Chains A and B, each alone.
Chain A
């Protein structure tokens, strides 16, 4: 009897490990086939996306709009437990609402799924979309909870793709393209040089850094990053970030994984982009309180309070508000000026 149980357990473990291995091996393919033009949504060099064309057409309208234009654009990127940009947790929704109330001068964007180069949700139209939908529907049950580990694993592998110097540029350019499309949908002006702040939670932190070079170049905008318990890697993209605020709760040990796993973050790697960035004083690490990485008592908890009575979620929002408001506006470059830079 015991033998049978052990045998079944070992067989199941082997199947799960095998599945995870195959998932890891195939994880770069979505970005690679997209870039190579093997998918219908592939980028087309020499042609602008529909969103970009519409942006150009409505540029005059944006300029003519009355009222105070937004000072900042914040793009929220969810953590590895997410299946889409829409299906975020209640806690994240509360956080975003509070952020919007606290920063009326900013546009808050949360419609980009950071773990897909085409902003295609896991539950969207894809080969195993049906499977992800089933798992997502059942994730509140015990079995579903266990199966949901595959969602974490899938997105975790995507974070590894983003951080890998071979795949990273392709993957991150895809996500940056989706972010740019969303910014244009939200009336981001073409020649405003308005700061863009990518706010990434957990694995979303790496994506927030990874997209920086492409957003910086593609929008001609200064890029700032807020990492909420972000698992940051040694991605050289950090060189394109103006400033990074890293929030890490005293009970959140996950971000420290990056210190071990990524050699570019080791002190010995003095010339790495990460260490150069830190030496330049561009990184601020903040401990908001005794927050955990996720679940009850995490950064978005709307019930737990600090000793002074501040809700955890409010504390997180306050820190982000202060960080964002410390950003100095940059001088806008006109279309003509920018074009002349490229031509020269």
Chain B
């Protein structure tokens, strides 16, 4: 099946966005002391997880537009609309910038959401309220599903990360560093106690 230029364009945007966002957010990988090969595997694994969320969001836009407003569009068309909305994330690597990075990330996320609402409104010929519902209800649904503990999505995610990257959990840098310093202090005290005992 030939791929249309629009779809090619959308795929390119999506790939670049995911890659850029992952690089921008890679601090968590460094903080968790991953090796070089784990770093690459983690980027791929997190990229895959991001892609799943993206697909969920795309499907939700398609489903909600059809269900609530009776307008059906093929999945590929919706995929193109949502991908194009993600264009600002191509600048995701800028999240790396110290101090400004996290403000920039917040700005990019707002930009993407606004883009999506505008693109959905334009493509579906919706009003603002309809576009808001179709775009954001899916995202809220995703948040809700993620927080439902009985679905055990977190456990699945941990299993997936363990299998693909060798690490099930990626912890906060501050906790890791504090834990390291505390452990060093204990080691030192124990060594000093041992030394004292030997000298006594």
Interchain CB contact under 8 A, B99 and A335? no
Interchain CB contact under 8 A, A173 and B180? yes
A252 within 8 A of B: no
Min CB–CB distance B91 → chain A (angstroms) = 12
- The secondary structure that dominates the B interface is helix
Interchain CB contact under 8 A, B193 and A339? yes
From 60 to 94 in chain B, residues with beta carbon under 8 angstroms from any chain A beta carbon are: 93-94
User: A45-B180, A48-B187, A173-B181 known; A33 and B174 CB under 8 Å?
Assistant: no
Please give, as numbers and ranges, the residues of chain B lying within 8 Å of A157 by CB-CB distance.
98
- The secondary structure that dominates the A interface is helix
B184 within 8 A of A: yes
Interchain CB contact under 8 A, A217 and B185? yes
Q: Which one of A36, A214, A338, A339 lies within 8 Å of B177 (CB-CB)? A: A214
Interchain CB contact under 8 A, B199 and A60? yes
Complex CA gap A48/B192 in Å reads 12
Please give, as numbers and ranges, the residues of chain B lying within 8 Å of A214 by CB-CB distance.
177-178, 181
Min CB–CB distance A289 → chain B (angstroms) = 31
**Could you say which of B99, B190, B192 has the most chain A C-beta atoms within 10 Å of its C-beta?**
B99
Please give, as numbers and ranges, the residues of chain B lying within 8 Å of A173 by CB-CB distance.
177, 180-181
Min CB–CB distance B186 → chain A (angstroms) = 5
Interchain CB contact under 8 A, B195 and A218? no
B11 within 8 A of A: no
Min CB–CB distance B38 → chain A (angstroms) = 9
A166 within 8 A of B: yes
A266 within 8 A of B: no
Interchain CB contact under 8 A, B102 and A60? no
User: A55-B188, A56-B195, A338-B189 known; A28 and B181 CB under 8 Å?
Assistant: no
Interchain CB contact under 8 A, B182 and A167? no
What residues make up the interface of B, taking CB atoms closer than 8 Å to A?
Answer: 27, 29-31, 33-36, 39, 93-94, 96-102, 173-174, 176-178, 180-193, 195-196, 199
